[in-house]
Amino acid sequence: MSITVSLIVNGKAVTQTCLENTTLVELIREKLQLTGTHVGCDTSQCGACTVHMNGRAVKACTVLAVQAEGAEVVTIEGIGVADNLHPMQSAFKECHGLQCGFCTPGMIMAAIDLVNQKAELDDQSIRKGLEGNICRCTGYHNIVEAVGRAAARMRE
Amino acid sequence: MVQQSIGERVLRKEDLRFITGKGSYTDDINLPGQAYACFVRSPVAHAIIKGMDISTATAADGVIAVLTGEQVAEDGLGSLPCGWMVHSKDGSEMKQPFHPVMAADKINYVGEPVAIVVAETFLAAKNASELVEIDYEEIDAVVDISSAQSAADIYPEVPGNTVYNWELGEKADTEKAIREAAHVTRISLTNNRLIPNAIEPRAAIADYNTGTQDLTLYTTSQNPGLARLILTAFVQIAPEHKLRIIAPDVGGGFGSKIFVYSEETALAWASKKLGIPIKWTAERSESFVADAHGRDHVTEVELAMDEEGHFLGLHVKTIANMGAYLSTFSAAVPTYLYGTLLAGQYKTPNIYVEVDAVVTNTAPVDAYRGAGRPEAAYLLERIVEVAAREMNLDPVEIRRRNFIAPSDFPYQTPVALEYDSGDYEASLNKALEMADYDGFSERKKEAASRGKKRGIGFSCYIEACGLAPSQLAGSLGAGVGLWESGEVRVNATGTVTVLTGSQSTGQGHETTFAQLVASKFGISIDDVEVIHGDTGKLDFGMGTYGSRSLVVGGSALSKAADKVIAKGKKIAAHMLDSDVEDIDFEDGEFRVRKSNQSKTFQEIAFAAYVPHDYPLEELEPGLSEKAFYDPANFTYPAGTHICEVEIDPDTGVVDIIKFTAVDDFGIIINPMIVEGQVHGGIAQGIGQALLEQCIYDETGQLLTGSYMDYCMPRADDLPSFEVGMTCTPCTHNPIGAKGCGEAGAIGSPPAVINAITDALGIMEMDMPATSERVWRAMQQAGGA
Ligand code: FES
Ligand code: FES
């Protein structure tokens, strides 16, 4: 059965018709063609699909599109652009916090939420906070550094 | 001008698109009118297909077609080949079962594709795939590696389920050394089966144009050129000039995206049959059953020593699990990439290794980061550590006593390789200092006072990289050459387009190769663009695996750049009215020696394309050169990894307190990227040592088929890493580089296990050393 969903994505109001079992990540990738948000698993474990919904990080593979009715959704495409990057984006680049880049959008979205939620972050709490996002390439060392660096800048 | 040369930590050119969500991975691509595919896979491991009914599925909503393994067979598609022919001891060729693109009459592992459903949407395809009815007559599955050779044959053409029985080295001399030695250390070990798990699942879009009869395959590949060769020459899906393979951004590979698999091949075939573009993206559960797995060895090792702990002989007997079919590279992994590395960093005079490769009813096993070399380093560095304990020698001292010295290079090992350069003491010493080995006993005492068990473990690994000298590889059974192609196109305005047959799956080729070429020409890396991953744009190339991109692909580019400079000198000589011999090229300028006359790189480029003042009678216009580079030898990165752990005796939880890696990769272009490679490799190595294990039950069902069951290393499972470098340049390639992609995964597992066994005061511990295993070992040792 088809349903209609209205929500705000990256600041723009959108209305889409989709099946009732369409997930938010399917809506984002297939209907809105925002392909920066990725899918890396089918058990809600990898975090590649992480976006912000009403200001908090969610795994978009685990949210139905219909649950996002009226919500404000921000994807990797909505946080910064080439000449005006979000501090988390710049820090990932400066610290070599990405290799293949596939986990990166989800990792960046999860990390921004982590910094927003926690007043104090050390290496251990960054690691703990990112345990819902799997990266197979970097060994996390540089990701942890990037998040620490971005956290300092975001609080300036 | 940002002129960032060799050795500088240049930030990556590719990052901007990835951090802003503008990457283009295969699943991000959509073609007009594309259909979607879903594979019907066998739920059982070993069975005869008695019948199949596709009528309900075919009639289902949105379904375009259901194509089966039987139709593949009718169309005469070839076997998916193994590209490496290994010979048994008796000289006979390995036994290779026919590997159908989709199974027609018999199932050999869980997840084997039997049909492809093509539909208007993925959901329709998936729903219909459940309507395909198949009648399976099950046969007992062969799963256990140790008993596979005495089990009933899976294939009549593979008697004893044994693909080959391979050997290397001097058997009699090694056995004599063991018989006569003052001391012999013996261990048995398992190299646990792993699932590669690149975070981007495999995906493909096949697009057959019925008008031009061109077939384009977008796919997640580490080696589009090689894939094209296999699909045309062996599987005969399309003629080579009519098949274009595009690997766009690829989200990690670690070996698993080298191979030519059933799914991509079936998709290409189906697109051609139906005349429409078809897309397939693996769901993670499919990746678990359908990607080639890694490792999976059981091994017995004996090391003979004299009274002082000098190694006299090493005897290795391994059974390697190949899974149900011989995947693309599989035959080479437990042989030429394994047995040849058993000298390690040591002057062991006698080495003998025999390997039985067996088939089982499990997914195919092939190269996974390190491929054979981690298995070799693991057994060697484990037995050396155990030997040290048995001989009451410091684990560092026993290694020093046996090291190949810097003055011994080039060093011919008893297992076929000739190491060109190295300084093993240098890496060891630096690692000892970084890890503060001297302070370890104090730290151990302090940990004990808190009730914790602290241990330290070493690993002095070596690997052979930069695959490979083609003639040597050919004489060892390789079905292909292992050179690389490169092209350096200087544009009229002096910017440069670089084309390479190497393929990035995250290693940063677009930066490293730009840095290499920019520094050759004295131009900014912003003026260099690297193109890879499209057989429609590039020369035939061999791709990325075996830490070969910079070593082989970079060398090709280095040679092509030299040709550009040589031609540039001729143009400059003409323009400056001088002799070619008198022209020097330095810092981006062609200069007449001992004069102030010069032309910039950009001026020469312009003259080459606007040849008004140009030696047209001797030289063609244009400034674009190609090179193919075939390496003279492997390269031999080596180093020391030291792991320090603390174990909680109540829970068995292992905490890695500090992990130190000192590696010699020869000349390094971009240290930031190299360190990143080391970090990622170590993480995978620690994953193998502590967390990861692919488990099949006795019926051949995969028990670890999701991220809920297969334990991937996460951020909070790992420490930060201490990484250092030493440098002895490679002597036989123009860059001096040795390759860095796999070292972390090769060096780290034995260091971790050596640290754990040191902490517990025991000799043996299987990987993964989960808290349960560690806790049980403590109970057994009575040490809790
Ligand atoms: S795709 Fe959502 S958690 Fe993996
Ligand atoms: S950068 Fe490749 S998975 Fe994280």
Q: What is the ipTM of this complex?
A: 0.98
Rounded Cα–Cα distance for residues B681 and B685 (Å): 6
Test B19 with A108 for CB contact under 8 angstroms: yes
Q: Identify the pLDDT of residue B396.
A: 98
Does residue B671 have a cis bond before it (omega within 30 degrees)?
A: no
Structure tokens that stand for B294 in this block: 């890694």
A62 CA from centroid of ligand 1 (Å): 7
Test B680 with A138 for CB contact under 8 angstroms: yes
Question: Does ligand 2 lie within 6 Å of residue A136's CB atom?
Answer: yes
For A81, phi then psi, to 5°, come to: -125, 170
Structure tokens that stand for B766 in this block: 């299987």
DSSP B622: -
Question: Does ligand 2 lie within 6 Å of residue A141's CB atom?
Answer: no
Chain A environment of B250 (Cβ under 8 Å): 100
Flag whether pLDDT at A144 surpasses 80.
Answer: yes
Residue-wise pLDDT tens digits, B685-700 = 999 999 999 999 999 9
Owner of token pair 């018709």: A17
Chain A environment of B23 (Cβ under 8 Å): 36, 101-102
Rounded Cα–Cα distance for residues B687 and B374 (Å): 13
Q: Is B629 helix (H, G, I), strand (E, B) or coil?
A: strand
Question: Does ligand 2 lie within 6 Å of residue A40's CB atom?
Answer: no
Question: B756 falls in which pLDDT band (50, 70, 90)?
Answer: very high
Question: B491 falls in which pLDDT band (50, 70, 90)?
Answer: very high
Q: Is B672 on the interface with A (CB under 8 A)?
A: yes
Residue-wise pLDDT tens digits, B534-564 = 999 999 989 999 889 999 999 999 999 999 9
Alpha helices in B347-423 (DSSP H): 373-390, 395-402
Instruction: State the DSSP string of B98-141.
Output: ---SS-SSEE-STT-EEEEEEESSHHHHHHHHTT-EEEEEE---
Which of A61, A76, A103, A107 to mutate for ligand 1's pocket (most ligand atoms within 8 Å of CB)? A61
Flag whether pLDDT at B512 surpasses 60.
Answer: yes
Fold that domain B15-21+483-629 belongs to in CATH: Aldehyde Oxidoreductase; domain 4 (3.30.365)
Out of B88-102, B161-175, B535-549, which region has the weakest mean confidence (pLDDT)? B535-549
Q: Is A5 on the interface with B (CB under 8 A)?
A: no
Owner of token pair 């050795």: B7
The answer to whether B324 touches B109, Cβ cutoff 8 Å, is yes
Q: Helix axis angle, B671-686 relative to B743-760, nearest 10°? A: 50
Question: A119 falls in which pLDDT band (50, 70, 90)?
Answer: confident
Q: Identify the pLDDT of residue B368.
A: 97
Structure tokens that stand for B734 in this block: 């123009």
Q: What is the dihedral of CA A31, A33, A35, A41, to 10 degrees?
A: 10
Test A93 with B15 for CB contact under 8 angstroms: yes
Residue-wise pLDDT tens digits, B322-367 = 999 999 999 999 999 999 999 999 999 999 999 999 999 999 999 9
Q: Is B377 helix (H, G, I), strand (E, B) or coil?
A: helix
Residue-wise pLDDT tens digits, B367-393 = 999 999 999 999 999 999 999 999 999
Candidates 3.90.1170.50, 3.80.10.10, 3.40.50.1820, 3.40.50.150; CATH matching B31-139+199-252+257-290: 3.90.1170.50
Residue at B227: amino acid letter: A
Q: Identify the pLDDT of residue B784.
A: 44
Q: Which residue in chain B is spatially nearest to A28 when comparing CA positions?
A: B28
Largest CA distance in chain A: 49
Among candidate residues B639, B724, B646, the one with its CA nearest the CA of residue B434: B724
Rounded Cα–Cα distance for residues B245 and B228 (Å): 7
Q: Take atom 4 of ligand 2 and give the residue whose Cα is closest.
A: A135
Q: Which residue in chain B is spatially nearest to A47 when comparing CA positions?
A: B199
CATH 3.30.365.10 segments of chain B: 15-21+483-629, 297-467+633-781
Residue from the list B17, B254, B708 with its beta carbon closest to the beta carbon of A45: B708
Q: Identify the pLDDT of residue B781.
A: 86
Rounded Cα–Cα distance for residues B316 and B59 (Å): 57
A40 CA from centroid of ligand 2 (Å): 11
Q: Is B198 on the interface with A (CB under 8 A)?
A: yes
Q: Which residue in chain B is spatially nearest to A94 when comparing CA positions?
A: B11
Q: Is B443 helix (H, G, I), strand (E, B) or coil?
A: helix
Q: Is A43 on the interface with B (CB under 8 A)?
A: yes
Query: Percent of chain A at pLDDT above 70?
Result: 100
Which atom of ligand 1 is found nearest the CA of A39? 1
Flag whether pLDDT at B243 surpasses 50.
Answer: yes
Residue-wise pLDDT tens digits, B477-487 = 888 889 999 99
The answer to whether B647 touches B591, Cβ cutoff 8 Å, is no
Say if strands B496-500 and B243-246 run parallel, antiparallel, or are unpaired: unpaired
CATH 1.10.150.120 segments of chain A: 87-154
Q: Is the dihedral of CA B411, B412, B413, B417 positive or negative?
A: positive
DSSP B448: H
The answer to whether B365 touches B327, Cβ cutoff 8 Å, is yes
The answer to whether B368 touches B295, Cβ cutoff 8 Å, is yes
Q: Which residue in chain A is spatially nearest to B504 when comparing CA positions?
A: A100
Residue at A109: amino acid letter: M
Sequence-distant (≥ 6) Cβ neighbours of residue B681 within 8 angstroms? A139, B369, B370, B741, B742, B743, B744, B745, B746, B747, B748
Q: Where are the beta strands (DSSP E) in B324-427?
A: 350-359, 411-412, 418-419
Rounded Cα–Cα distance for residues B172 and B351 (Å): 10
| pTM of the complete model | 0.97
Say if strands B133-138 and B47-53 run parallel, antiparallel, or are unpaired: antiparallel
Question: Reading across the β-sheet that carries B589-592, which strands appear in turn?
Answer: B583-586, B589-592, B598-600
B355 CA from centroid of ligand 2 (Å): 34
B243 CA from centroid of ligand 1 (Å): 34
Owner of token pair 């889409």: A16
B57 CA from centroid of ligand 2 (Å): 37
Residue from the list A42, A96, A130 with its beta carbon closest to the beta carbon of B676: A96
Alpha helices in chain A (DSSP H): 24-26, 87-94, 104-117, 123-129, 141-154
Q: Which residue in chain B is spatially nearest to A39 when comparing CA positions?
A: B200
Q: Which residue in chain A is spatially nearest to B713 when comparing CA positions?
A: A134
Test A139 with B683 for CB contact under 8 angstroms: yes
For B430, phi then psi, to 5°, come to: -65, -40
Residue from the list B16, B20, B707 with its beta carbon closest to the beta carbon of A43: B707
Question: How many A×B Cβ pairs under 8 Å?
Answer: 181
Q: Identify the pLDDT of residue B2.
A: 58
Q: Is B778 exposed, middle or buried (0-12, 13-18, 19+ CB in 10 A)?
A: buried
Residues with CB under 6 A from ligand 1: A 39-41, 44-49, 59, 61
Question: B245 falls in which pLDDT band (50, 70, 90)?
Answer: very high
For testing contact with chain B, the best of A1, A137, A142 (most B CBs within 10 A): A137
Q: Identify the pLDDT of residue B5.
A: 85
Which of A23, A37, A39, A75 to mutate for ligand 1's pocket (most ligand atoms within 8 Å of CB)? A39
Q: Is A59 on the interface with B (CB under 8 A)?
A: no
The answer to whether B355 touches B339, Cβ cutoff 8 Å, is yes
A149 CA from centroid of ligand 2 (Å): 19
Query: Percent of chain B at pLDDT above 90?
Result: 95
Rounded Cα–Cα distance for residues B157 and B159 (Å): 6
Q: Which residue in chain A is spatially nearest to B672 when comparing CA positions?
A: A96
Q: Is B495 exposed, middle or buried (0-12, 13-18, 19+ CB in 10 A)?
A: middle
Q: Which CATH class is domain A2-78?
A: alpha beta
Structure tokens that stand for A153 in this block: 């800048």
Test A136 with B712 for CB contact under 8 angstroms: yes
Instruction: Please compute the mean of the pLDDT values over residues A36-51 and round it to a whole number.
Output: 98
Test B12 with A96 for CB contact under 8 angstroms: yes
Residue from the list A43, A108, A136 with its beta carbon closest to the beta carbon of B708: A43
Test A43 with B284 for CB contact under 8 angstroms: yes
Q: Could you say which residues from 222 to 261 on chain B have a Cβ atom under 8 Å away from some Cβ of chain A?
A: 249-252, 254
Say if strands A2-9 and A50-53 run parallel, antiparallel, or are unpaired: unpaired
Among candidate residues A116, A148, A96, the one with its CA nearest the CA of residue B14: A96
Among candidate residues B605, B606, B474, B487, the one with its CA nearest the CA of residue B540: B487
Q: Is A94 on the interface with B (CB under 8 A)?
A: yes
Q: Identify the pLDDT of residue B507.
A: 94
Flag whether pLDDT at B3 surpasses 70.
Answer: no
Q: Identify the pLDDT of residue B264.
A: 96
Rounded Cα–Cα distance for residues B217 and B354 (Å): 40
Average pLDDT, chain B: 96
Q: Which helix (H) or strand (E) holds B318?
A: strand B311-323
Q: Is B25 on the interface with A (CB under 8 A)?
A: yes
CATH 3.90.1170.50 segments of chain B: 31-139+199-252+257-290
Say if strands B638-647 and B350-359 run parallel, antiparallel, or are unpaired: unpaired
Q: Across chain B, how many H-helices and E-strands are there?
A: 19, 28
Which atom of ligand 2 is found nearest the CA of A107? 4
Test A144 with B715 for CB contact under 8 angstroms: yes
Q: Could you say which residues from 683 to 742 on chain B have a Cβ atom under 8 Å away from some Cβ of chain A?
A: 683-684, 706-708, 712-716, 718, 720-721
Q: Is A14 helix (H, G, I), strand (E, B) or coil?
A: strand
Largest CA distance in chain B: 88
Q: Across chain A, how many H-helices and E-strands are there?
A: 5, 5
Chain A environment of B21 (Cβ under 8 Å): 34-37, 75-77, 105
Candidates 3.30.365.10, 3.40.1190.20, 3.30.420.40, 3.40.50.1820; CATH matching B297-467+633-781: 3.30.365.10
Sequence-distant (≥ 6) Cβ neighbours of residue B191 within 8 angstroms? B295, B296, B297, B298, B299, B374, B375, B378, B379, B767
Candidates 3.40.630.150, 2.40.30.10, 1.20.1250.20, 1.10.150.120; CATH matching A87-154: 1.10.150.120
Among candidate residues B485, B480, B536, the one with its CA nearest the CA of residue B245: B536
Rounded Cα–Cα distance for residues B281 and B300 (Å): 41
CA angle at B726 for the pair B744 and B14, rounded to the nearest 5° = 55
Residue-wise pLDDT tens digits, A61-115 = 999 999 999 999 999 999 999 999 999 999 999 999 999 999 999 999 999 999 9
Rounded Cα–Cα distance for residues B348 and A108 (Å): 49
The residues facing B678 across adjacent strands are none
Q: Is A140 on the interface with B (CB under 8 A)?
A: yes
Test B20 with A80 for CB contact under 8 angstroms: yes
Test A131 with B679 for CB contact under 8 angstroms: no
